[in-house]
Amino acid sequence: MSQKDTSDWSIIAGGKATLTYELVSDAFNYELEATGLSADQDYSLIYYADSQDRYVDFGGDNPGALIAEVTADGDGNVSVSGLKNLAMNLPHEDDWNGTSEANYCDNSEGDNYELCRGAKVWLVPSSNYDESSKSITDWSNMADFLYETDLIVYDDSNTDGVALHLGKGLLNFFVKNVLNVALQPGDYKVKTEVQPVI
C-alpha cells in the first residue's frame, strides 16, 4: 500500500505498508508493516469493496470489512500481526473488483497491477472510517490514505471450500516455514507441494 496522487492515482512519496497474509485459511491471518505514517495516530486496515457503479456509489461498503485497528508509534511505524474472521472470501462476490468487468492489468487508470481482479485493502486514518457501516465516511484528507498497489485474493476455507479464483494476471507468493527454535543444529529438508485445481 502507498500514498497516491488522487488526481491520477500515481504512487507518491510518503507512507508505505506491506500486508502479508495466508492465501487460504479459516481466518484472515496477516502481518502488517507500515512506515511514514502520522505519529501516534490510529489507523484502520480495511477491505474496500466497490459497488457496481463505483464512481457514483462509493464508500467501500459492498460489503467491506474492518480487518484491524492499529496505532502508529512515535516514529510513524506499525508492525502488527493478527487473525480476523472475515467469514467471506476476498474479493466478495458483490465486489465489482472481483467481477469479469474489472481489469487492473490494462493500465487504463494508471494501475497496471499483476493481479487483474481481486480485493482492495487500504490503511486509512480511523477517524475517516465507520466500522458499523463498513465505509469511508470522510474523504477530506484522502491524500493521507494508503491505497492498494496491487489487489489480493483470499479464500476463507469455512465458506465455500472453493480454491482461489485468480482470473487473469499473476499472483506472487512465498512459503513461510516456522521451525521450532529448540531444534538441534543440522540440515533439515522442508518439502512444499503445490496442487493446482483445474
Q: Write the pLDDT tens digit of every residue in 20-75.
A: 999 888 999 999 999 999 999 999 999 999 998 877 788 899 999 999 999 999 99
The domain tally of the chain equals 1
Give the pLDDT of residue 45.
98
Q: Percent of the chain at pLDDT above 70?
A: 88
Interatomic CA distance for residues 162 and 190, integer angstroms = 27
> For residue 66, is it within any domain?
yes
Is residue 152 in some structural domain?
yes
Burial 163-173 (b: 16+ CB within 10 A, else e): eeeebebeeee
Q: Which tens digit of pLDDT belongs to each residue from 185-194?
A: 888 887 777 7
For the chain, the straight-line distance linking the first and the last C-alpha, in angstroms and rounded, comes to: 31
pLDDT for 4 beyond 80: yes
Range of the domain at 34: 2-156
193 in any annotated domain: no
Tens of pLDDT, residues 146-177: 999 999 999 998 886 555 555 555 666 667 77
Q: Which one-letter amino acid corresponds to residue 140?
A: S
Residue with cell 463498513: 134
Sheet bearing 65-71, strands edge to edge: 65-71, 42-48, 120-125
Whether residue 172 lies inside any domain: the answer is: no
Task: Assess if residue 51 is contained within a domain.
Answer: yes
Closest CA to 164 of 114, 122, 198, 121: 198
